[in-house]
């Protein structure tokens, strides 16, 4: 077995891209039977970003990726692997990551997508961690990018109010580990439960039934969700996996600099914080600005926290997400 204590996987650069167009709750009131007050109170969301016609998951991912490479001082040809976590890919195939590779001209990399929906970034981090800690690769660009606005049913007030578009990226780098407390990814923890696959899903089966008119009429190519059931399981799994990550690393909530949770609903985050006795001041919250950007939400949060000085060298951060699948996971990073 490879000794995983030889190398660390450090975050060398971060980046984010948010489309310019802002869609506020007030604007949604004009087309939906909803209100700014309901959305704000039940979700914490006030506005979200909507991709322009020419923008796609790959175009936003490339912008975020470019920033992460610049921040890390790594040129595109030095990238060994590009992983894109997305559930709103440009096309069914090839992967969005291959389009990103072309846009960045990172032609020495392998590139592929992973599908774990809102947990996609954590799942991607766990993959990158293995490649870097085993010494297989030196530079990995991990990106979460989504154009949720293209896969929501804009007439369904239960779902469309929740989602937004955007991308976030991390440049992860292999470095020789000098001591046990060195900076880097300390651990990742990922889980799935396929029994809950219809809690949140896009039921129109491309491979199952082929593309067909009736599915279009029934909006089966859009996100469907059982909101209440999802809420309950999201709270349970997120609290559990954060607890596991803390115990695995033998750290208390006091020792965590910032918790960056997937931004699905402010109330989910508040209940999780209460259960774990995690002070809200130590939790990154940007859902009011962006809504749920699925796989992009955690790297957007990391980039924001870095830029705002909420992450300092030597500090420890916890990341956590729950998503369709059901999938869930957490990661602990030391900076
Ligand atoms: N505007 C106004 N009213 C709305 C509404 C909207 N956008 N959406 C739903 N309602 C209504 C419902 O129709 C219902 O009315 P009724 O009792 O007359 O039928 C009422 O509000 C309560 O609906 P309910 O679904 O029980 O609300 P909720 O408090 O559970 O909030 C969600 C709904 C979707 C915000 C919440 O369940 C949620 O966030 N779930 C988790 C979503 C999630 O995390 N998804 C992604 C995971 S990665």
Tell me: do 97 and 219 sit in the same domain.
no
Tell me: do 287 and 310 sit in the same domain.
yes
Tell me: do 93 and 205 sit in the same domain.
no
Tell me: do 216 and 272 sit in the same domain.
yes
Per-residue tokens: 173: 């780098």
Q: What pLDDT, in 10s, does the model give residues 178-229?
A: 776 689 999 999 999 999 999 999 999 888 889 899 999 999 999 999 999 9
* Range of the structural domain that residue 232 is part of: 184-334
CATH classification of the domain holding 209 = 3.40.47.10
Q: What pLDDT, in 10s, does the model give residues 20-60?
A: 999 999 999 999 999 999 999 999 999 999 999 999 999 99
Evaluate whether residue 140 is within a structural domain. yes
Q: Which residue among 118, 139, 148, 222 is the active-site one?
A: 118
Domain count across the chain: 2
Ligand 1 lined by 323 (C-beta under 6 Å): yes
Residue 317 has pLDDT above 50, yes or no: yes
Q: What pLDDT, in 10s, does the model give residues 229-273?
A: 999 999 999 999 999 999 999 999 999 999 999 999 999 999 999
In this structure, of 137-146, 172-181, 230-239, the range with the lowest mean pLDDT score is 172-181
Tell me: do 209 and 161 sit in the same domain.
no
Evaluate whether residue 84 is within a structural domain. yes
Q: Is 189 an annotated catalytic residue?
A: no
Residue 323 has pLDDT above 50, yes or no: yes
Tell me: do 156 and 262 sit in the same domain.
no
Last residue of a domain, one of 128, 153, 176: 176
Ligand 1 lined by 257 (C-beta under 6 Å): no
Among 87, 96, 20, 88, smallest CA distance to 58 is for 96
What distance in angstroms lies between residue 163's CA and the mean position of ligand 1's atoms? Answer: 13
Three-state SS sequence of the chain: CCCCCCEEEEEEEEEEECCCEEEEHHHHHCCCCCCHHHHHHHHCCCEEEECCCCCCHHHHHHHHHHHHHHHHCCCHHHCCEEEEECCCCCCCCCCHHHHHHHHHCCCCCEEEEECCHHHHHHHHHHHHHHHHHCCCCCEEEEEEEEEHHHCCCCCCCCCCCCECEEEEEEEEEEEECCCCCCCEEEEEEEEECHHHCCCEECCCCHHHHCCCHHHHHCCCCCCEECHHHHHHHHHHHHHHHHHHHHHHCCCCHHHCCEEEECCCCHHHHHHHHHHHCCCHHHECCCHHHHCECHHHHHHHHHHHHHHCCCCCCCCEEEEEEEECCCEEEEEEEEC
Tell me: do 126 and 214 sit in the same domain.
no
Residue 1 has pLDDT above 50, yes or no: no
Tell me: do 158 and 34 sit in the same domain.
yes
Last residue of a domain, one of 150, 176, 202: 176
pLDDT, averaged across the chain: 96
How high is the pLDDT of residue 177?
Answer: 81
Q: Atom 1 (ligand 1): residue with closest C-alpha?
A: 34
Mean pLDDT (whole number) for 88-106: 98
Tell me: do 235 and 91 sit in the same domain.
no
How high is the pLDDT of residue 222?
Answer: 97
Ligand 1 lined by 34 (C-beta under 6 Å): yes
Evaluate whether residue 2 is within a structural domain. no
Evaluate whether residue 19 is within a structural domain. yes
Residues β-bridged to residue 86:
none
Q: Are strands 110-114 and 81-85 parallel, antiparallel or unpaired?
A: parallel
Evaluate whether residue 18 is within a structural domain. yes
Tell me: do 38 and 107 sit in the same domain.
yes
pTM of the predicted structure, to 2 decimals:
0.96
Query: With pLDDT > 70 as the criterion, what percentage of the chain qualifies?
Result: 98
Evaluate whether residue 189 is within a structural domain. yes
Evaluate whether residue 192 is within a structural domain. yes
Q: Atom 45 (ligand 1): residue with closest C-alpha?
A: 264
Tell me: do 117 and 244 sit in the same domain.
no
Tell me: do 80 and 191 sit in the same domain.
no
Evaluate whether residue 1 is within a structural domain. no
Q: Is 160 an annotated catalytic residue?
A: no
Last residue of a domain, one of 176, 200, 226: 176
């Amino acid at each position: 077995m490879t000794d995983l204590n030889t190398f660390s996987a450090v975050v060398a650069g971060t980046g984010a891209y948010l489309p310019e167009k802002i869609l506020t709750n007030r604007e949604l009131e004009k087309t939906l039977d909803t209100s700014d007050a309901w959305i704000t109170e039940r979700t914490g969301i006030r506005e979200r970003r909507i991709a322009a016609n020419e923008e796609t998951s790959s175009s936003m991912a490339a912008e975020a990726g470019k920033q992460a490479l610049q921040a890390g001082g790594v040129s595109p040809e030095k990238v060994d692997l590009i992983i894109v976590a997305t559930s709103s890919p440009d096309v069914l195939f090839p992967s969005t990551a291959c389009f990103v590779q072309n846009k960045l001209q990172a032609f020495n990399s392998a590139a592929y997508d992973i599908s774990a929906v809102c947990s996609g970034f954590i799942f991607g981090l766990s993959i990158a961690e293995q490649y870097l800690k085993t010494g297989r690769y030196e530079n990995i660009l991990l990106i979460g990018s989504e154009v949720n606005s293209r896969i929501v049913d804009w007439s369904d007030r239960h779902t469309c109010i929740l989602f937004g578009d955007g991308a976030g990226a991390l440049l992860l780098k292999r470095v020789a580990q000098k001591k046990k407390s060195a900076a880097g990814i300390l651990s990742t923890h990922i889980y799935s439960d396929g029994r809950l696959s219809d809690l949140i899903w896009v039921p129109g089966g491309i491979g199952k039934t082929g593309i067909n008119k009736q599915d279009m009429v029934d909006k089966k190519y859009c996100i469907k969700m059982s909101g209440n059931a999802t809420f309950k399981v999201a709270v349970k799994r997120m609290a559990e996996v954060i607890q596991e990550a803390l115990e695995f690393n033998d750290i208390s909530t006091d020792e965590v600099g910032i918790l960056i949770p997937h931004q699905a609903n402010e109330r989910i985050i508040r209940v999780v914080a209460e259960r774990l006795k995690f002070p809200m001041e130590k939790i990154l919250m940007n859902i009011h600005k962006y809504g749920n950007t699925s796989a992009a939400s955690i790297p957007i949060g990391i980039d924001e926290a870095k830029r705002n000085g909420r992450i300092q060298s030597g500090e420890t951060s916890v990341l956590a997400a729950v998503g369709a699948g059901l999938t869930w996971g957490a990661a602990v990073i030391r900076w």
